[in-house]
Each structure stands twice: as C-alpha cells, then as structure tokens.
Amino acid sequence: MHISAFFIINSLLSIGAFASQDVICRGLNTQDDGCIRYTRGFDVTGVVTEVDLTFPQVRDECDCIQECLNRPGTCANYVWKFSTSDAVQSGHRTCTLYSNFNLPSQVVLEFDLNSTNNMNINADEIIAAGNNPQMGALVPQAFKDVNLNTTADPDAVSGPVWVLANGQVQC
C-alpha cells in the first residue's frame, strides 16, 4: 500500500499536478529565507531602470538577487543569464536588474523619456538598447550558444523581487 501510494504521488508530481518550486538562494533576507518565485530558462524582465552587473561582482544567481535586494527602491526583478556573446565566451552569466517587466505580446508602451516626472528610469540605457517603445513579446528564452539563439540555457534564472508594504520581501 505504501509503495503504490508513493508511486501514485510520484507520478502526479512528475506530470506537474502538485508542482512546486525549490527554494533557491537559502539565507537571503526574504520572507521565505530564499526565493520560491522565479523562472528558469526564460527572461521575464522589462526595460526600465536597467542596471548591468558582471562577474566577479556577481558570481551566481544568488549574488544577483542580493543586488536586487540591495536596491529596494528601484529593483523589482532580475535576470541571471548570458546576455552577450562576450559573456558566453567568458563563461560567466551576467546580472541585470530592472523596475518593470516583460510586456505581454499585444501590448506596446512608449515612454516619455524627456518628462521631468521620470525618476530613476535610466533613460540612456533604454535609448541605447532601442527599447522605446517597449514591445510586448512572449517571455524570451535564454540561450547559451555564442549567438544566443540556438542552445537553450535551462540554468538561467529570472524573477520578481517584491518589497511588500509590511516590509517583507517576496521572491
């Protein structure tokens, strides 16, 4: 009995019926002592308030999330992936922080980058990356081949860092 129950539960888990995510980066000062909200292999980030960090300042995904935690007033999400061919050649993924997210595929948003109401949007980077307007798209995949378009990178990580009104952080 125990054995068959085990196999049934195991099968349900493997088809995702009770899917749950492992805690990553245990020890981070967050509500779950780490993060349980993230995606692997895809990049959920947007374009606003881009901050680019590289090895050796950031050595792994946990350093990357910590950098977002260090900027609670401007960082709402991060991506740890190979962002350039140079990164692939160096063997070190990069850490990029943002205040907004990827938009869904049928939404396009143009920012008034000259408005004096803007704060901490890093307009120069939005312009340099050709990200105004921000085009909606399916959440982009992360790759690890030198052209960043062929070999999927399942070890890339991206996700939210939400600073809640009660002072707790969820990620």
Burial 32-43, CB ≥16 within 10 A → b, else e: bebbbebbbbbb
> Least distance in Å: CB of 84 to ligand NAG?
13
Q: Whose Cβ is closer to ligand NAG: residue 57's or residue 84's?
A: 84
Q: How many residues make contact with ligand NAG (CB under 6 A)? A: 4
Backbone angles phi, psi at 148, to 5 degrees: 55, 45
Contact 49, 119 (CB under 8 A): no
Q: Whose Cβ is closer to ligand NAG: residue 10's or residue 149's?
A: 149
* Pairing relationship of beta strands 77-81 and 157-160 according to DSSP bridges: antiparallel
Q: Which residue has the tokens 């190979």?
A: 82
Q: Whose Cβ is closer to ligand NAG: residue 117's or residue 147's?
A: 147
**Of 97-156, which residues contact ligand NAG (CB under 6 A)?**
114, 147, 149-150
Residues near ligand NAG, by CB under 6 A:
114, 147, 149-150
